[in-house]
Structure 1
Amino acid sequence: MGSNPIVLIHGYSASGESFKVWEKKLETRGYDVSTIHVCSYVTLTNEVTIKDIAEGFDRALSIEGGLDPDQEFDAIVHSTGMLVIRAWLTAYSQKRRNRLKHVIGLAPATFGSPLAHKGRSWLGAMFKGNKEFGPDFLEAGDLVLDGLELGSKFTWDLAHKDLFGSEIFYGNKNDTPYVFTFCGTNPYSGLAKLVSDPGTDGTVRWAGCGLNSRKILLDLTKQQEEEQRIDFDGSKNDGIASTVLVEGLNHQTIMSNPRDELVDAVCEALQFTPEQKIQDWQIKTTEKLSPKTIDLWQQFVVRAVDERDDPIPDYHIQVFTQGNDNFQAIDNFAANVHTYSGDKSLRCFYVNLNRILNPQNLQQPTNLPNLMMRVIASSGSQLIDYLGVNNKGEWDAQMDISYLLRESKVRLFWPFTTTLIELKLNREPRKDVAKFLQRLQQLSSN
C-alpha cells in the first residue's frame, strides 16, 4: 500500500525504538518496510538549534534515507518532530513543498510544550523509573528547549512563515502537503502524573497541536473612529485538518500502544487526495476516536509591540464583560499564563472555554453580552509612556472587542486551536526627553 516512502521523525530520542511499533503496524497494513525510514536525533550540546536539526535531516534524507533529491515522500512525526519538519519545509519552501505530500502529527509540539521551561533535572526526577518514556526533549540542549518553550519567538516566527505568510504551504493541491494531527486525551500515570496539566496529553496541549491557527491584530495606535483597530489574518492553508483527540492515549502510549482505529485513520490520511474533502475525513475520524464529552480548551499567544515593532516586555491584560455599573473579569483567561523567558513581550494563555461556549453546540455564539480588553503597559521609566488613543487623542487603555464574539470569520473563541494576537501600542517619549536649550541672554549693565 502507498506509493510514497514514509519518513518517521521522532525528535530527540537516542534511538528510533519508539517508532518500531508504528513501523510494524504499517507493515501489517501492506506498507513495504524497505520504504519506511526512521530518523532520530541526539542533541546533547547547547549550541544545536531546531534549524540545525532540520538541515541535518535534509542531509540524512539523501545519505542514510536513500531518497533522491526530488523524490516525493510522506512524514509521520511525533512531538518535537513537527517543528523539525516545518523548519525544514520553510527553509527552501517551493522545492521542498513539492516533495512532501502528507504530514501526520502524533502528539506534535506544534506550539511547544508546558514542560519545556521546567528544566531537564526536574523532569528527569519526575520520569525516573517510569515505564513511560517521558518527553522526548529530556536530552535536548538549551537552544532546542528555548524553541519548545510556550510562546517562544521560534514558534511565533515559524507560524508567520508557513501559516500567515504570502505563500501557501499546506494547500488542497498536489504541490503542497496535507497535514493531519492526533493527540491523546489522557495524562501520564504514576509520579509523572504530577507534570500533566489539564488539557494536555501529559506533554503537549490539545489546543497546541494543530496548524489550523488564526491571527488577530489589535492596533491601539489607530484612531478609533478613523481606522479599523481590529484586523484578522486567517491562514490561507486549506489542506490542514483540525486535531483529532484520541481517547485513552497519552503522549507516549500514542507511540508505544496505538489503537488499531488510530492506525487505520493514519493510513487513510496517508492516502488522502485532492478529490476528497478534508472536513468529511475530520468528521468521520473524530466520531471513531474522540471522547463524546471533553473540556474545551483554547490557546492564545500574545505579543505586545510598539509602532516600530519593538517588543513591549512589561504589560498586563485583563479580559472582562461590562455591565451598567460594574465589570466581570473572565477568570479563565488569566488562570494559566506563561511568559516566554527569552522575550517577555510574548505570553501564552491557556483558556478553558466550558463557561464561555456551549459544548453541545459550538456553532452557537457565546452568551457573553460583550467583551472588553484592558491593557496596562510600562516602560520602566518616567520619561517614556505606552499609549493607545481614542478619537480625542487621549489615553485609552480599554478596548471593546465584542465584534470578535459573534463574527463567524474572526470569532475569538474556538476550541482546540491556537490563536495568535498581536497587540500594538504607541511608545511616546515625554517632553523632557529632548528639548532645545534656551539661549542665554547677556545682560548689559548700565
Structure 2
Amino acid sequence: MLVIIHGWSDTYRSFERLGKRLIADGIMPNVKHVRLGDYVTLDDDVTFDDLSYALQAAWKKERLPTAPRSVDIVIHSTGGLVIRHWMITFFKPETNPINRLLMLAPANFGSPLAHKGRSFFGRVVKGFKSSRLFHTGTHILKGLELASPFSWDLAQQDRFGSEVWYGPGRVLCTVLVGTSGYTGIAAAANEKGTDGTVRVSTAHLNPLLVRFDFATDPQKPKLSLEDAKGLTAFARIPNENHSTIALKDNGPKNALTLGLIKDALQVTDETFPAFVNRLETFSDTARTNSSSNSHTQAYQNTVVRLTDDMDAFVTDYFLEIFAKDKLFKKVDNRLTRVVQEEIFEKVHVYSDNSAYRSLLFNTTVLNEKVVTLGLPLFVSLTAMPDISQTKTVGYSTFGYDDIGSIKLTSDRLQKLFHPDRTVLIDIKIHREQTEKVFKIFGLS
C-alpha cells in the first residue's frame, strides 16, 4: 500500500495526479490502494502533536496496515516532519510500519519562508485559504521555521538517538529535492540554494552533530563530531522547483525525475546501499554542472544552539568565523573578508528563542577559496552579559582570545562543511559569578 501526505497550505487534491501517475506508469504496480493523507495545516491552534495523534487515529479508522515495514509512503514538504514525528511517537524501529519513505522536497530542517508566512502578508495571502479566516497555522510554521527547536529535537531522536531508524532492515528513506526556484510573480520567494520554498541543505536527512565545549576550559575548547545513525539516500535534481518535483505545475521538468521516484519506491534492503552511492554520484555531477550559478551552488545549513553550564539558554551572542595570518597571531583581514562576504550568506535567528540560529554557508566558494588551498579558519564566540562589565555574573567571552578560538584545519573544514547538508552545532560555555554576588559575614 502507498500513502501520500502533502505539505503546509496544501490539500490531497494537489497530489491526485502524482498518485495516478505512479500507478499508470507502473512505478508502483503492486499497489492496490493509494491513500492521500489530508490534514489541517492552516489552523493556528493545530500543533505537530495534534497532527501526529490525528494521523494515528485516521490510520486506525481506515484500518491501514500496522505490521512492520508494510506500507510505502510518499511525502511532500511539511509532510516530512509530520511523518517522522508520527513515526517516533507511536512506534519503535522494529515495529514501524513504514518500509520505503520517499520525501519530495521535505522541510526536514525548516524553510526560509516559514517565518514570513506568519507575517501580515502571510495572514492575508495564505490565510484566505483557511476555513478560519486569517489563520496561517502558527504552531506548524514555528516548527517549520529555520533553526526551530522542534526540528532540532526531532533529529536528536530519529538521527542521533540510541536506536537506528533508517537503512537496510529499517526505513528505506530517499530525499529528492529540486534546485530551481519559482518563475513569474512567485519568484519573489526565491533564495539562493533553495527550490523556491525549502533549502536543498534543509531537505537532506543526513545531518552532522557537532559539540563545542567552551565550558570545561575556555582557553582550550573541545570539539566533537557525531554522524547520524543509519543510512538515507539523497539527490538534488536540476530544473525542478518545490512544486514540479511533486508533479504539480506541469512537472516534472527533469526527464530523470520519474525514474528516480520509481527507483526510490522499488529499492530493496540489498540494493539500497548501492542506490545511495548512485544518488551521491548523481548529485556530485549536478553540483559540478551548476557551480557557476550562485542560486544552484552548494550550501550548508548550520544550526547553532548556545547554552551555558547551568543548562540555561544564552540568547545574546555573536559567533564568528575568521582567518589568521601565517603565524596565527593576527587576523587575516583579506581572507576574513572573503569568508564574511562570499562564504557566509546569512543568519536567521529563531523567533521564539534566539539561542537557536541558522547560518547559511556557500560550500562551493569555501572549497574553492579556502579548503583546496589548505588554509585553516578559526571560530570565536562573544556572549553577553560580559562579566567584566557587570562585575557580578556573566561570560568571559569578549574578544578573540578571551574565550579562546577553535582552529579549523583544512581536514576539519572538510568534515564540518559539506554541500547540501545540515549541521547541528551544540555550544556550551561557562557562566561565572564574582564574589559580589554572595558574601558571608561573621559576627564581630
The residue that corresponds to 2:18 in the other structure is: 22
- Structure 2 vs 1, CA of residues 420 and 385 (structure 1 numbering), >3 Å: closer, same or farther? same
Query: Deviations 1:57-95 (Å, cap 9, x if unpaired)?
Result: 12222323x313326101111000000011011113416
The residue that corresponds to 2:108 in the other structure is: 110
State the distance in 2 between where 1:90 and 1:367 align. Answer: 43
The residue that corresponds to 2:440 in the other structure is: 436
SS where residue 337 of structure 1 aligns? strand
SS where residue 192 of structure 1 aligns? helix
The residue that corresponds to 1:38 in the other structure is: 36
- Counterpart of 2:349 (choices 339, 343, 367) is 339
The residue that corresponds to 1:263 in the other structure is: 258
Which of the two has greater helix per residue? 2
Cα displacement (A) at 1:14: 5.4
- Structure 2 vs 1, CA of residues 368 and 433 (structure 1 numbering), >3 Å: closer, same or farther? farther
- Counterpart of 2:241 (choices 222, 247, 250) is 250
> Is 1:292 equivalent to 2:289 in the alignment?
yes
State the distance in 1 between where 2:127 and 2:429 align. Answer: 46
Query: Deviations 1:4-26 (Å, cap 9, x if unpaired)?
Result: x1110102445311111211210
The residue that corresponds to 1:321 in the other structure is: 323
Query: Deviations 1:143-168 (Å, cap 9, x if unpaired)?
Result: 11111111001011111011111111
- Counterpart of 2:275 (choices 272, 278, 300) is 278
> Is 1:356 equivalent to 2:366 in the alignment?
yes
Instruction: Write the mapping of 1:376-395 to structure 2, written as runs, cut at 5 A.
Output: 376-379=382-385, 382=390, 383-387=392-396
State the distance in 1 between where 2:364 and 2:10 align. Answer: 40
Instruction: Write the mapping of 1:34-183 to structure 2, written as runs, cut at 5 A.
Output: 34-64=32-62, 66-70=63-67, 72-94=70-92, 98-120=96-118, 121-123=120-122, 140-171=136-167, 173-174=168-169, 176-183=170-177
State the distance in 2 between where 1:288 and 1:373 align. Answer: 31
The residue that corresponds to 2:294 in the other structure is: none
State the identity %. 30
Query: Deviations 1:284-312 (Å, cap 9, x if unpaired)?
Result: 65489777223121110000111122211
> Is 1:232 equivalent to 2:225 in the alignment?
yes
State the distance in 2 between where 1:386 and 1:431 align. Answer: 15
Read off the aligned partner of 2:105 and give its amino acid letter. A
Cα displacement (A) at 1:38: 0.5
TM-score by length of 1: 0.84
- Structure 2 vs 1, CA of residues 195 and 180 (structure 1 numbering), >3 Å: closer, same or farther? same
Query: Deviations 1:18-39 (Å, cap 9, x if unpaired)?
Result: 1112112101222356421110
State the distance in 1 between where 2:344 and 2:281 align. Answer: 35
> Is 1:418 equivalent to 2:422 in the alignment?
yes
The question of whether the paired residues in 2 share the 8 Å contact of 1:187 and 1:196 is answered with yes
SS where residue 55 of structure 2 aligns? helix
- Structure 2 vs 1, CA of residues 333 and 304 (structure 1 numbering), >3 Å: closer, same or farther? farther
SS where residue 275 of structure 1 aligns? coil
TM-score by length of 2: 0.85
**What runs of 5+ residues in structure 1 fail to find an aligned partner?**
442-446
The question of whether the paired residues in 1 share the 8 Å contact of 2:111 and 2:144 is answered with yes
Cα-Cα RMSD: 2.9
The question of whether the paired residues in 1 share the 8 Å contact of 2:117 and 2:126 is answered with no
Cα displacement (A) at 1:334: 4.6
SS where residue 416 of structure 2 aligns? coil
Read off the aligned partner of 2:21 and give its amino acid letter. K
The question of whether the paired residues in 2 share the 8 Å contact of 1:265 and 1:285 is answered with no
Aligned residues: 413
- Structure 2 vs 1, CA of residues 319 and 395 (structure 1 numbering), >3 Å: closer, same or farther? closer
The residue that corresponds to 1:185 in the other structure is: 179
- Counterpart of 1:198 (choices 183, 192, 205) is 192
- Structure 2 vs 1, CA of residues 60 and 281 (structure 1 numbering), >3 Å: closer, same or farther? farther
The question of whether the paired residues in 2 share the 8 Å contact of 1:48 and 1:141 is answered with yes
Cα displacement (A) at 1:111: 0.5
> Is 1:370 equivalent to 2:368 in the alignment?
no
